[in-house]
A and B are shown apart, each in its own frame.
Chain A
């Protein structure tokens, strides 16, 4: 039996989950204070996902700045570095509004990359 600890990121309570596994299967989950902790632990054990946040270059009035961006939804943890590789190649032009899609299927994650800031 193996014991893992996880930080449930479903809400700010950040419950410390204790997950016991045997032969690659979860046998016990504790430390959660609501059912969402169970769902989180199962997902985290089988296919963990992370929101990726970074910056891309944005051109405004002939000058280059950084625009904060993020994946619209969490992507599989395995794809985080692929997403970053694509992010490095992107350059956008102002105006951009917060929430606007700046790139589709980023890092082949089938997820969109969106702007986190309005630049006009």
Chain B
């Protein structure tokens, strides 16, 4: 068994983990990244499309290029990287992991959670029918196509209009597969408008809204799916069934933060985001354990992930150095109305400006965000469109904050 001491241990070597570790290293000496895969980069390694880095680097990069910039920086630094090493649990500020050589115990003054997210699967959305091969998540299909050189099938139907599904529709079409159509149960598309245009419209792939897959047909291999239109309550309308012959069904039905390890540390999780409940320094309910990136809440832009992770890394280092003082303020932050969630859930430090990140639950064509402190408006945004696929941010300056309760609302 290997035992080692660190100032900061980062779990996960995706963009969040790398940025957190690099930033922590600016203030402390001993920083580690633990990654279960054989390379750093996380999900970016399979996101070979472009659209990354426009905000952070001011240029449009592909996922691997964005990752490479951080992989190079980590490689040139003193950060100790443990690859092919899976974290099993966190116990009393010790990260317990396993690799080929056995068990590792990494004792940390502060820990950063950066494990990313995983995809919702068929079980979580309950489609009736048989269990043939050929039904897989869009992310898994992306992994097969872009990393493992495997072809998922020939005639493809996609359920869900999330960005991963849209990106995969284009990718498989370019690879010569027959991408038949995308079905979305909601009356609106979940992915970004630019992806609808560039991934579907460019290739004449139809998008059917308010329609879902109601049956999976086939014994060994998928042979067809049955699709039906749904009513306002998202219930299938009898008589609208249609059989679509296909051998592959991709599910693009959402992501959930990956918090199995967080649970072992006793970190409180939000029922809405599935990620840890954090204060404005990104600290979880467990002192000295911080969270950032998709493990905290699902992000649409990696640029935001990097920024958030840098903050978590900075705060973790500060904690490791014993530079954090007991806070006296506790301002709870609540989401109201169409706002589905707001991060952080409490503000404990009011010396610096505070960034509130939020998402709406359904699209609002024209709305205005207002932040209330004890029912007094302290921030008002301009009128604009709000969609669930885009994370919004509001920055509050310290003088706007005092004891009480914050509420974020869109009207």
A39 within 8 A of partner (CB): no
CA of A7 to CA of B71, assembled, Å: 32
A38 within 8 A of partner (CB): no
Given A116-B64, A117-B65: A9 in contact with B198 (beta carbons within 8 A): yes
Q: A7's contact among B62, B146, B196, by CB below 8 Å, is which?
A: B196
B54 within 8 A of partner (CB): yes
Q: In the complex, what's the smallest C-beta–C-beta distance from B45 to chain A, in angstroms? A: 8
Q: A14's contact among B48, B67, B194, B303, by CB below 8 Å, is which?
A: B194
CB pair B50–A51 under 8 Å, yes or no, is: yes
User: Which of chain A's residues 62-94 have a Cβ closer than 8 Å to chain B?
Assistant: 64, 66, 68, 70, 77, 80-81, 84
Q: B146's contact among A50, A55, A118, by CB below 8 Å, is which?
A: A55
Q: Which of the four size classes fits the interface of chain B? A: 20 to 34
CA of A113 to CA of B62, assembled, Å: 13
Q: B54's contact among A11, A53, A57, A99, by CB below 8 Å, is which?
A: A11
B49 within 8 A of partner (CB): yes
Nearest residue (CB) in B for A80 is: B174
* Total CB contacts across the A-B interface at under 8 A: 70
Residues of B within 8 A of A102 (CB): none
Nearest residue (CB) in B for A71 is: B50
Q: Is the interface of A mostly helix, strand, loop or mixed?
A: mixed
Given A14-B192, A66-B147: A53 in contact with B62 (beta carbons within 8 A): yes
Residues of A within 8 A of B375 (CB): none
CA of A99 to CA of B148, assembled, Å: 22
A16 within 8 A of partner (CB): yes
Residues of A within 8 A of B192 (CB): 7, 14
Residues of B within 8 A of A55 (CB): 48, 146, 149
CB pair B60–A51 under 8 Å, yes or no, is: yes
Q: B344-357 CB contact bits vs A (8 Å, 1 = yes)?
A: 00000000000000
CB pair B174–A7 under 8 Å, yes or no, is: no
Q: B48's contact among A7, A11, A12, A68, by CB below 8 Å, is which?
A: A68
- Some 10 contacts from A to B, beta carbons below 8 A apart, are A7-B196, A8-B194, A12-B301, A16-B193, A54-B48, A68-B48, A70-B50, A81-B174, A84-B174, A84-B175
